[in-house]
Amino acid sequence: MWPKRNSLLLFILILCASTSLYAQDGNQTLWYTKPAEKWTDALPIGNGRLGAMIFAGVEDDHIQFNEETLWTGSPRDYNRKGASKYLPEIRKLLFEGKQKEAETLAQAQFMGVQSEAGNREAWVKEMKAGKGILGNPASANYDDRLWKTLKVPAYEGWETVGLKNLDGAVWFRTTIDVSQDWVGKDLVLDLNKIFDQDFTYVNGSLVGHTEGTEARKYTIPAKLIKAGKNTIAIQVFNFYDRGGIGGYKDVSKPIGIYPVGSTVENGISLVKEWKYKIQNDAPPAVPQYQASYQPFGDLNLKFDHGKSQVSNYKRLLDLTKAIAKTSYTVNGIDYQRTYLASQPSQAIVIHLTANKKASISFNAALSSVHPNSSVKVLNDHSISLSVQVKDGALRGESRLTAVIKNGVIKVQNNQISIQKADEVTLYLTAGTNFINANDVSGDPTVAINNTLNSIKGKTYADIAQQHVEEYQKYYNTFKVDFGRSENEKLPTDERLRQFATANDPGFAALYMQYGRYLLISSSRPGTQPANLQGIWNDLLAPPWGSKYTTNINLEMNYWPAEILNLSALNDPLFQKIKGLAKVGTTTAKEYYHANGWVLHHNTDLWNGTSPINASNHGIWVTGGGWLSQHLWEHYQFTQDQNFLKNEAYPLMKQAALFFEDFLVKDPKTGWLISTPSNSPENGGLVAGPTMDHQIIRSLFKNCLVAANILNVDESFRKSLQDKITQIAPNQIGKYGQLQEWLEDKDDTTNKHRHVSHLWGVYPGNDIAWDQDSKMMNAAKQSLLYRGDDATGWSLAWKINFWARFKDGDHAMKLIKMLMKPAGTGAGSYVNLFDAHPPFQIDGNFGGAAGIAEMIVQSHQGYIDILPALPGAIPNGEIKGLKARGGFEVDLSWTNGKLTALQIKSKVGGKCKVKYLNKEMEMDTKAGESYKLNGDLK
């Protein structure tokens, strides 16, 4: 142990370095000159288990936080018993070309089992009877003067205009002035979409009631209308996800009221502020195929700076230390707040300082969007927040503890109040009762007590130092420099706005490091894997449940792990695969009467593996095959034979055994094909999608090589060898394209975001230049037809395709599309989160991996140097890129030409290197480094 004085001195040096970085290094820092206005402006911190979004307001600093195991749902069996008896009929219908009939049968008999529904009928009856509200809001004379107002309509839901995280019953009221000309005429009330159910009244009379997503266009009888003021009242029931009066997706088309035979443009617009009143916020449970990741709580720090002018405001995220900071000046006093998510201490830590003593005064309050939550006082410096997930098995507890230097601390009104302190440190931690996917008997306070024990006797400097050291053992394995530019002096939001037209290659380097930062922050060994939003979520009904979508999104999250030198961060993914394989064994039996294990297109905390949602996209069988590719890739990059023997190969073999049983002979071609399945998420339920065959063929080949290395399973090897040759091959269609399906039926005008049949190009290597340049060109033609425009994660995938096609300039074009301000389409939010839209973190990870793929590739049996270097990055230096074969690569280039190359061999063996038309091969020894020049000499 170091003496405290030396520990403090070291940390002061760290902070000094950080201060220098604060001002100078725009390529490892995100920084802004104003607080976050919305969630996607806020800056993320995380330790793999706990995540937080820092808004950094001056008067109100909002810290929204998550704990990785707080989800909806509970342990249960998702599998439909006996589904396999319908498999032959579904296959038969598909072979006969009866796709719709196959989808109908599959929807009825082949999907997973949903969670239990609440009693909707009873709840609706209570709401209709007026439970929870005084009087009759449908009445024209109802007194709504104390009601609040809300913008109407909101196609993306009332959540986007002020009623965030609300489901339930809400009344809306407004009035219109009707001229004498309209009296005696039937009118049309055009509201278009309402989510999910409405009872609509005019002057107290019911004029319409609809359930579901059908358009609302109600006829109002002339007898209900009078000249002058008329009242419209709508009772809206929203059961899950977006709610309210939606109107038209095309916001240029208004909702309104007009005479029959006329149009809304000639009527009265109802696009305005309506009055509203929440009647009930606890609707009955909606049956779900899988669970959703949940927010935990909110910490608000309320400061009173009076009406004083704020100057020198800055907020930043230092990627080198995983530390966020906010600084500003008020009344001549410089304030600074520092935020970190410590893995060693398992806490979110906030440190507040000022350059004048007795200057720090604020109140700290905990709250949660969960309806079933409460705050209580623990002692004179701690409060706790308890939450219970609605209709679920999980509950959580969070604790906020304050430590001050001088000043006064007390707890009042369930808040921590601090007055005139010199310095304050806040420790925020949380835990749940989740133990594993089958056990929720845990004590949420265990994590809290572990944190309190870990920080006992430590100063903030000690905790911060340990945090930085632990984080940097991951972050410092890789360095990238694409050169300097004037734009790195700009705030990140302004730099983002200018990137498309600027000469700013360093911003792409920042994006790589930010991707690494996000993976380190959301996927530490021993935690859950990074989900659709990493570890950050503020919504009770997040997009796509913020789950693990396994038809690309979960896998894309881990594309940077090997190549960008974060191999250890695969651990949560590999542990997840083990859990999925166990559950997927039952799914394989129930649905396909097959051995091995299967995973369909989505999973969650509870390891669901059965088909979900809709049969036209939810029945996709190769999730386990794709995840097995990650196991093999880890071996390829590390050459870890213990991992191959004890972890990877057993899981890969079981995945392959499933496909041995699942593949059937196509009656037309005689090939072995995958059916029923889907080409995500395009074209519906089919027989023989190309992507499946690429994944299955790759899995069989990888198992074959692995079994040879381990010298095991000779009969299994022979079986695989036989079947590999029978699997339907990649085919070139009539337009020169790689066919997406067994039949040549591609639509060259289809711009679908999924480009699933190019899996064999990337992340697979079923198609590569050296083995079949003709097929590679066909794949390229497919991508040209599909086009460049796409959602965020799709852009990231296309960057990797163009890197594999060795067209760096085209890849760079897509990087600029990915890194443009997100509006209504794809791009990046202010905090550089990827916009699908909405936010999905996979684009950040896929984009970071794609930039690396432009610099070094190693999937063809050799290390290919600068295979797709774009003209926009003429100069650069990278240290720590990983290559298959157990190699680590450092390289630099000037004016587009390689100038220096160093290859470190981790395990020894032959190393083959190619650069342009040059190549060389050498024998290497474990631990030795080999330096080469631009001529590979």
Listed in sequence order, the DSSP H helices in 349-399 are: none
Interhelix angle for 792-804 vs 842-855, to 10°?
10
**Residues 342, 343, 346: CA angle, nearest 5 degrees:** 75
Query: Chain centroid to CA 588: how far?
Result: 28
Residue 20 has pLDDT above 70, yes or no: no
671-682 mean pLDDT? 97
Query: Chain centroid to CA 195: how far?
Result: 25
Residue 361 has pLDDT above 60, yes or no: yes
827-831 mean pLDDT? 98
Q: Among residues 535, 607, 608, 537, which one has the least CA distance to residue 575?
A: 607
Residue 707 CB coordination number (10 Å)? 19
- Alpha-carbon span 674 to 689, nearest angstrom: 7
In 656-805, the DSSP E strands lie at 664-665, 672-673, 677-679, 682-686
335-343 mean pLDDT? 98
Q: Among residues 617, 532, 413, 526, which one has the least CA distance to residue 792?
A: 532
- Alpha-carbon span 517 to 320, nearest angstrom: 9
CB 207 within 8 A of CB 189: yes
Q: Which tens digits make up the pLDDT trace of 851-901? A: 999 999 999 999 999 999 999 999 999 999 999 999 999 999 999 999 999
Confidence band of 26 (pLDDT split at 50, 70, 90)? low
CB 331 within 8 A of CB 311: no
Residue 174 CB coordination number (10 Å)? 18
Peptide bond into 838 cis (omega under 30): yes
Q: Among residues 853, 880, 767, 751, which one has the least CA distance to residue 478?
A: 880
CB 325 within 8 A of CB 339: yes
Return the exposure string of 385-410: e unless at least 16 CB atoms fall within 10 Å of the residue's CB, then b: bbbbbbbbbbbbbbbbbbbbeebeee
CA of 183: how far to CAs of 206, 231, 423, in Å?
19, 15, 70
- Alpha-carbon span 606 to 528, nearest angstrom: 11
Token pair for 369: 């969007």
CB 750 within 8 A of CB 735: no
- Alpha-carbon span 526 to 517, nearest angstrom: 17
Token pair for 879: 């240290």
Residue with tokens 């790195």: 488
Token pair for 299: 């910490």
Interhelix angle for 571-592 vs 649-662, to 10°?
20
Residue 24 has pLDDT above 50, yes or no: no
User: Cα-Cα-Cα-Cα dihedral of 778, 780, 785, 787, to 10°?
Assistant: 170
Sheet architecture: strand order including 423-432: 29-32, 310-318, 323-330, 333-342, 347-354, 423-432, 395-405, 382-388, 373-379
Q: What percent of the chain has pLDDT over 90?
A: 96
342 Cβ contact partners less than 8 Å away, ≥ 6 residues apart: 47, 348, 349, 463, 464, 466, 467, 470
Token pair for 685: 């339920």
Residue with tokens 């799914």: 587
- Alpha-carbon span 11 to 19, nearest angstrom: 12
3-class state of residue 278 by DSSP: strand
Token pair for 304: 């009173």
Residue 548 has pLDDT above 70, yes or no: yes
Q: Among residues 429, 431, 426, which one has the least CA distance to residue 415?
A: 426
- Alpha-carbon span 833 to 819, nearest angstrom: 10
Residue 307 has pLDDT above 90, yes or no: no
3-class state of residue 735 by DSSP: coil
Residue 14 has pLDDT above 70, yes or no: no
- Whole-prediction pTM value? 0.94
Q: Which tens digits make up the pLDDT trace of 186-218? A: 999 999 999 999 999 999 999 999 999 899 999
3-state secondary structure 220-264: ECHHHCCCEEEEEEEEEEECCCCCEEEECCCCCCCCEEEECCCCH
Return the exposure string of 574-592: e unless at least 16 CB atoms fall within 10 Å of the residue's CB, then b: bbbbebbbebbbbbbbbbb
- Alpha-carbon span 407 to 389, nearest angstrom: 38
Residue 821 has pLDDT above 80, yes or no: yes
pLDDT at residue 618, rounded to an integer: 97
CA of 121: how far to CAs of 118, 171, 892, in Å?
9, 19, 68
- Residue 667 burial class via C-beta count within 10 angstroms: exposed 0-12, middle 13-18, buried 19 and up: exposed
- Residue 765 burial class via C-beta count within 10 angstroms: exposed 0-12, middle 13-18, buried 19 and up: buried
- Alpha-carbon span 434 to 606, nearest angstrom: 10
Residue with tokens 């905390």: 605
- Alpha-carbon span 907 to 887, nearest angstrom: 8
259 Cβ contact partners less than 8 Å away, ≥ 6 residues apart: 182, 185, 186, 187, 188, 267
Token pair for 726: 């029978």
- Residue 921 burial class via C-beta count within 10 angstroms: exposed 0-12, middle 13-18, buried 19 and up: exposed
Confidence band of 12 (pLDDT split at 50, 70, 90)? very low
Residue 11 has pLDDT above 50, yes or no: no
749 Cβ contact partners less than 8 Å away, ≥ 6 residues apart: 785
Residue 4 has pLDDT above 70, yes or no: no
Average pLDDT, the chain: 95
Residue type, 186: D
Residue 37 CB coordination number (10 Å)? 11
Token pair for 676: 């029923």
Residue 903 has pLDDT above 90, yes or no: yes
Q: Enumerate long-range contacts of 869-873, CB under 8 Å, 24 or more apart.
A: 869/808, 869/893, 869/896, 870/808, 870/809, 870/811, 870/812, 871/808, 871/809, 871/812, 871/896, 872/503, 872/505, 872/809, 872/812, 873/482, 873/483, 873/505, 873/508, 873/812
Q: β-strands 887-894, 168-178: how paired? A: unpaired
**Residues 154, 160, 165: CA angle, nearest 5 degrees:** 120
First to last CA, the chain: 47
- DSSP code at position 645: I
Residue 20 CB coordination number (10 Å)? 10
Return the exposure string of 283-300: e unless at least 16 CB atoms fall within 10 Å of the residue's CB, then b: bbbbebbbbbbbbbbbbb
CB 473 within 8 A of CB 455: no
369-387 mean pLDDT? 97
5: part of which helix (H) or strand (E)?
helix 4-24
- DSSP code at position 181: G
Token pair for 670: 């005689």
Domains defined for the chain, CATH in brackets: 4-73+290-476 (2.70.98.50), 120-280 (2.60.120.260), 547-787 (1.50.10.10), 790-937 (2.60.40.1180)
Residue 246 has pLDDT above 80, yes or no: yes
pLDDT at residue 25, rounded to an integer: 57
